[in-house]
Homo-oligomer: A and B are copies of this chain.
């Protein structure tokens, strides 16, 4: 593999991930959608699987638990989600998408899909499969937990 700095996958990955997030955020802002890319990821996911607790949702969306707490704080402040107490386990909350939250997901989804497709111009279904395979392989190569599981 080439060892030149700018040929390294880590630089390319970081740069591209940032570009995608940055582009999406600018499009959100241009439409006056008062939400960040990471916040969107979460409410979009809540629309599919509502009423999970924070830990589960954090894991699903790939966020650190402290980071997740803070993002939910902001979503609650915006009225898009709420924390529901569970009487049978008072350690955890269920994160619930409010009616406003559901409305926003419906309202904003088409634009989000359009933005997502924009990045994929000139690429094929096969490219997607390859990308997914390569990224998943890298992820697994570095994931301590998965490595442990595989050794069992």
Contacts and interface: CB of A to CB of B under 8 A. Distances in A.
Interface of A: 1-3, 5, 7-24, 41, 44-45, 48, 60-62, 113, 116-123, 125, 127-128, 130-132, 134-139, 141-143
B136 A121 contact: no
Contact of A119 (B2, B127, B138): B138
B135 A119 contact: no
Contacts of A139: 15-16, 19
Contacts of A10: 17, 20-21, 24, 116, 119
13 contacts: A1-B120, A5-B60, A9-B116, A13-B13, A14-B20, A16-B17, A20-B138, A22-B142, A120-B141, A121-B137, A130-B131, A131-B131, A131-B134
A12 B136 contact: yes
B119 A11 contact: no
Total copies of the chain: 2
A41 B13 CA distance: 13
A11 B134 contact: no
Contact of A45 (B5, B41, B123, B143): B5
